[in-house]
């Protein structure tokens, strides 16, 4: 049952966060709370040491401090800040820099894609009336950066301590 939770909780929340950000431009607090709760439960059930739990928590707290500073300046959304922190809680120090780099690169691709859509002379008629498409193509709306944050988490998760414990 523990392996099943390891295989499902993190990936499901990443997929949900990305879809939610795409379709609503919001990431619910529930996503971050489920990630935090899932981490705590699985860390205790798998026998993760208190030192390791503390180091993961420190990684998440550091990312939360940095991303909330970015949020305060209006550069990212609050949901993005909480998602990045909760993701780093799961990934920990070993993957922190990889996550930051990959999130930035993927975020650049998401941003270029959204800006290309916004500048497109033609939009598919079947999408024009959709609320989510109108939000994405609105010049005054932000970029759904949660897509990049979630994708980076999903790319790195297979090499995390969680998955290596399941696969070995």
pLDDT in tens, 16-36: 999 999 999 999 999 999 999
For residue 111, give every residue at least 6 positions away whose Cβ sits within 8 Å of its Cβ, in sequence order, or none.
143, 145
Enclosing domain of residue 19: 2-167
User: Could you read off the pLDDT tens digit of each residue along the chain, which spans 168 residues?
Assistant: 888 888 999 999 999 999 999 999 999 999 999 999 999 999 999 999 999 999 999 999 999 999 999 999 999 999 999 999 999 999 999 999 999 999 999 999 999 999 999 998 888 889 888 999 999 999 999 999 999 999 999 999 999 999 888 776
**Tokens at 97, concatenated:** 């820099």
What is d(CA 168, CA 162) in angstroms, rounded to the nearest whole number? 10
What is d(CA 6, CA 4) in angstroms, rounded to the nearest whole number? 5
What is d(CA 166, CA 29) in angstroms, rounded to the nearest whole number? 28
> Are the C-beta atoms of 153 and 10 separated by less than 8 Å?
yes
Number of domains in the chain: 1
């Amino acid at each position: 049952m523990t392996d099943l939770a390891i295989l499902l909780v993190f990936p499901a929340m990443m997929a949900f966060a990305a879809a939610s950000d795409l379709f609503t431009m919001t990431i619910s607090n529930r996503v971050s709370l489920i990630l935090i709760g899932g981490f705590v439960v699985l860390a205790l059930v798998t026998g993760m040491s208190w030192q390791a739990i503390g180091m993961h928590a420190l990684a998440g707290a550091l990312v939360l401090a940095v991303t909330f500073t970015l949020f305060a300046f209006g550069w990212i959304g609050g949901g993005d800040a909480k998602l990045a922190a909760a993701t780093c809680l799961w990934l920990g120090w070993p993957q922190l820099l990889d996550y930051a780099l990959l999130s930035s690169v993927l975020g650049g691709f998401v941003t270029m894609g959204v800006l290309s859509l916004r500048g497109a002379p033609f939009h598919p008629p079947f999408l024009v009336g959709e609320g989510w498409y109108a939000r994405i193509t609105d010049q005054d709306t932000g970029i759904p950066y949660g897509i990049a944050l979630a994708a980076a988490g999903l790319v790195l998760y297979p090499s995390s301590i969680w998955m290596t414990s399941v696969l070995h």
